[in-house]
Amino acid sequence: MPVFRLTCSALLCCALLTAGCQGTDENCPQGTVFADPEEIPAGTSQTSLSVEVTNPFPDNGLEVVTLLSSVSGSIADPSARMTTFACALDVSGPVEVCVNATYEEPSDASGALSDVPNVDGSFEYLRSSHIRLPDPLECSRTTCSVIVCPEDKNECPEVSELTVAPEVLAEGETATITVAASDPDDNPDALVTTLTARRGTIADPNASETTYSCDPEAGGFIEICVVASDGDGSCDIERCTSVRCPGDPDQNTCPIIESLTADPLSNGAASTTVRVNATDPDEFPVPLRTELSAETGVFADRFASETLFVCGAPGPTEVCVKANDGDPDCDVTSCIIVQCPSDIPANVCPNLNVINAIPSVIRPGDTSTLVQTRGWDTDLFPMPLTLTLSALWGSFENTENVPGAGQVVQQDATYNCDRPGEVELCVDATDGACTKTLCTIVSCPDDVPIAP
């Protein structure tokens, strides 16, 4: 980080120093967050946020960085100056939204290098203001505003039907697309459905019944999707299907995510079942693979078509699935919002303090040793603690996770050598969100036969 040299010019009184030019609050940037509207109307759950910044030293060459936060609900992009806030489903009334503003040294530091080097050979940056500027590491200022969340939140639309008939088209034939969608509360705006097709033409993309015509230059399976929206972007829902057009496909047919759904969370629950329905019409070039992801929370098996999702933070959480058939140009992604409760606790990472090999030096004539592992998780959240043993070579037996007293999980496994020499044995302890690792060294005897 550049060093700031203090030089009091004739036009700037050195008394400025006593006013706080040391990175104190008065000389640090301040962000102010505004919500529009501040009181979110009943039947909706979103408001727009904007951040205005006051910079006491606009010419100091330092960038102002802001970060939004809230104790409940979710912020679409916490680092943006304009974004949206969505209330948590189980929270109503005042919610505090805060913005922290700090200085950040840009990669290409502004200011001029002095002509005289320091004793250590480095050069100092001289600023045109000739006063000591705030240290970016010491400047941090937070201000808050209040948003009022309504008791009655927006209920998201539902798509109960998306069909294409016939599913296989002959030359010059058209298909009829039928969409059935509804909005339980008709809020905040009128329900709109929008149809799209990867290739070809849809006569009326916003109609509940319309026709589809193939592109003469694109045969094979064509993806057709509908998005139902009630004006709340966090509530948009997408469904997809396919139609087969005459002729050969002009390229690999990408996977189709027909649906991504999650069961509504009941009161007090922090987990839900997520289901993925995806297909690859041409099953080419490799078998279809789907992978679930979320910025917070964990999945029991993120590659499964049906799995448990455990919330990791309060408020609306975006859950996405990516489908791929091995073609990097064919990655397809779909996302939904899972309404996590506002009282999600902060995760406490598991403890791992034991991996013992008994003995660690295996005697000639033997090929195995006992491996003991011990870990515990004080909050049993978000997933049950799991211990997993690994080694670069050799094999393990009896690796079952055995529950013990005091939320302890233990293993009494056997490690089998398959070659002489030292080998590192490691154990991973994870609760789904945090992983800790311990390792130990085992020495296998020289008379161990080398595995083929």
Domain assignment present for residue 450? The answer is no
Q: How far apart are CA 277 and CA 233, in angstroms?
A: 22
Domain identity same for 307 and 401: no
CATH number at residue 23: 2.60.40
When comparing pLDDT for 236 and 153, which is higher? Answer: 236
What DSSP character marks residue 419?
S
When comparing pLDDT for 328 and 24, which is higher? Answer: 328
Lowest-confidence region among 6-10, 151-155, 240-244, 440-444: 6-10
Return mean pLDDT, the chain.
Answer: 83
Domain assignment present for residue 32? The answer is yes
> What confidence score (pLDDT) does residue 197 get?
93
Domain identity same for 128 and 195: no
The residue out of 188, 218, 250 marking a domain boundary is: 250
Domain identity same for 31 and 84: yes
pLDDT in tens, 218-227: 888 899 999 9
When comparing pLDDT for 251 and 278, which is higher? Answer: 278
What DSSP character marks residue 88?
-
Domain that holds residue 419: 351-444
When comparing pLDDT for 439 and 185, which is higher? Answer: 439
Domain assignment present for residue 1? The answer is no
Domain identity same for 18 and 137: yes
Residue 434: both structure tokens together: 């945090």
Q: How confident is the model at residue 138 (pLDDT cuts 50, 70, 90)?
A: low
Mean pLDDT over 146-169 rounds to 91
> What confidence score (pLDDT) does residue 232 get?
80
pLDDT in tens, 393-452: 999 999 999 998 888 999 999 999 999 999 999 999 998 888 899 999 999 999 998 877
Domain identity same for 30 and 130: yes
When comparing pLDDT for 255 and 24, which is higher? Answer: 255
When comparing pLDDT for 75 and 267, which is higher? Answer: 75
C-alpha Rg value of the chain to the nearest Å: 30
Percent above pLDDT 70 for the chain: 86
Domain assignment present for residue 35? The answer is yes
How far from 123 is each of 5, 115, 117, 138, 296, CA to CA, in Å? 10, 8, 5, 22, 44
Lowest-confidence region among 105-114, 137-146, 279-288, 321-330: 105-114
Is residue 406 classed as helix, strand or coil in its secondary structure? Answer: helix
Task: Reply yes or no on whether the pLDDT at 57 is more than 80.
Answer: yes
> What confidence score (pLDDT) does residue 334 get?
92
Task: Reply yes or no on whether the pLDDT at 111 is more than 90.
Answer: no
Domain assignment present for residue 3? The answer is no
When comparing pLDDT for 328 and 386, which is higher? Answer: 386
- H helix count then E strand count, the chain: 0, 31
> What confidence score (pLDDT) does residue 114 get?
40
Q: How confident is the model at residue 135 (pLDDT cuts 50, 70, 90)?
A: low
Domain assignment present for residue 265? The answer is yes
CATH number at residue 321: 2.60.40.10
When comparing pLDDT for 345 and 383, which is higher? Answer: 383
Instruction: Collect all residues with Cβ–Cβ distance below 8 Å to 438 and sequence separation of at least 6.
Output: 352, 353, 354, 355, 373, 426, 427, 429
> What confidence score (pLDDT) does residue 340 get?
85
Q: How confident is the model at residue 206 (pLDDT cuts 50, 70, 90)?
A: very high
Q: How far apart are CA 131 and CA 12, in angstroms?
A: 8
Task: Reply yes or no on whether the pLDDT at 278 is more than 80.
Answer: yes
Task: Reply yes or no on whether the pLDDT at 139 is more than 60.
Answer: yes
pLDDT in tens, 24-40: 466 788 999 999 999 99
Task: Reply yes or no on whether the pLDDT at 56 is more than 90.
Answer: no
Q: In sequence order, what DSSP letters do the residues of 333-353 get, joined into one string? A: EEEEEEEE-TTPPPPPPPEEE
When comparing pLDDT for 72 and 372, which is higher? Answer: 372
User: Which amino acid does the sequence have at 213?
Assistant: S
Domain identity same for 428 and 393: yes
pTM metric for this prediction: 0.59
Domain count, the chain: 4
Domain identity same for 24 and 126: yes
Domain assignment present for residue 181? The answer is yes
The residue out of 294, 323, 344 marking a domain boundary is: 344
Domain identity same for 338 and 361: no
Lowest-confidence region among 37-46, 248-257, 298-307, 412-421: 248-257
Q: How confident is the model at residue 202 (pLDDT cuts 50, 70, 90)?
A: very high
Domain identity same for 289 and 181: no
> What confidence score (pLDDT) does residue 342 get?
78
The residue out of 250, 282, 310 marking a domain boundary is: 250
Domain identity same for 245 and 270: no
Domain identity same for 240 and 285: no
Task: Reply yes or no on whether the pLDDT at 304 is more than 70.
Answer: yes
Lowest-confidence region among 178-182, 228-232, 383-387: 228-232
Domain assignment present for residue 129? The answer is yes
> What confidence score (pLDDT) does residue 296 get?
83
Task: Reply yes or no on whether the pLDDT at 182 is more than 60.
Answer: yes
User: Which amino acid does the sequence have at 382?
Assistant: P
Do 69 and 80 meet the contact criterion of CB atoms below 8 Å apart?
no
Domain identity same for 277 and 336: yes
Instruction: Collect all residues with Cβ–Cβ distance below 8 Å to 103 and sequence separation of at least 6.
Output: 28, 29, 60, 62, 63, 64, 65, 134, 136, 139
> What confidence score (pLDDT) does residue 329 get?
84
Question: What are the residue ranges of helices labelled H in 244-360?
Answer: none
Task: Reply yes or no on whether the pLDDT at 129 is more than 50.
Answer: no
